[in-house]
Copies of this chain bind each other. A is one copy, B any other.
Amino acid sequence: MGSYHHGNLRDALLKEAVELGREGGPAAVGIRELARRTGVSPTAAYRHFTDRDDLLRAVADVGIAELEEYMLRTLRRVRRTDPAERARRRLRAIGQAYVEFALEAPGLFAVAFNAVTFADLTAPYRNLTDALDECVESGFVDQDKRRGAEPICWAGVHGFVMLHGTGPLRGAPRRERDADLARLLDRIEDSLRRT
């Protein structure tokens, strides 16, 4: 019998906590507000999470999983063409997915990014590494420029997210933002391209 009082309270709490994070970022994820929303006493939450930090970590894990899922979905949409072109498109898809996810779910993204260590990002990071490898193998990307390329690509898209998400470029119209992103991805490709 998996059910008692609320049924799976842990699941209900986590789901609601993710919603809180989505709405207001890390600061909005609190035990008391969570309990209120779930219709349960604050103490009840302590049966399922050791403290607020534990809760934040759990929300962050959900965020990372969702990002990974979104990346894979985007990656799957890349059509088969010649290897170099396919590699290029896959690299681009990853950047695009990262930015789109972060801008669609800024709060959740912020929770994930704040709570996280490098080790927690193995899955999404792996996508990037694989894509870059594919770019080299197919001859699209220069061997020499491959070294240390991950943090560079990452920095580019992450910075974009910061500037356009809650940062100083947050006011920019959607059209401009999209054009900006397209140019950013163009330049990233240029920077790695074999000449």
Binding site for B on A (CB under 8 A): 113-114, 116-118, 120-121, 145, 147-149, 151-152, 154-163, 166-169, 171, 179-180, 183-184, 187-188, 190-192, 195
Contacts and interface: CB of A to CB of B under 8 A. Distances in A.
Contact of A152 (B113, B117, B149, B183): B183
A184 B157 CA distance: 13
A105 B86 CA distance: 42
A62 B128 CA distance: 38
Contact of A155 (B117, B120, B156): B156
Contacts of A156: 152, 155-156, 159
A149 B184 CA distance: 8
Given A151-B163, A160-B159, A167-B113, A187 B145 contact: yes
A148 B148 CA distance: 25
Contacts of A113: 162, 167-168
Contacts of A120: 168
16 contacts: A117-B171, A147-B183, A148-B183, A149-B187, A151-B160, A151-B184, A152-B180, A154-B163, A155-B155, A155-B156, A155-B157, A155-B158, A156-B156, A157-B159, A187-B192, A188-B191
Overall SS of chain A's interface: helix
B162 A158 contact: yes
A151 B180 contact: yes
Given A145-B190, A190-B191, 19 more contacts: A113-B167, A113-B168, A114-B166, A117-B168, A151-B160, A151-B180, A151-B184, A152-B180, A152-B184, A154-B163, A155-B160, A155-B162, A155-B184, A156-B156, A159-B162, A187-B188, A188-B191, A190-B190, A190-B192
A154 B148 contact: no
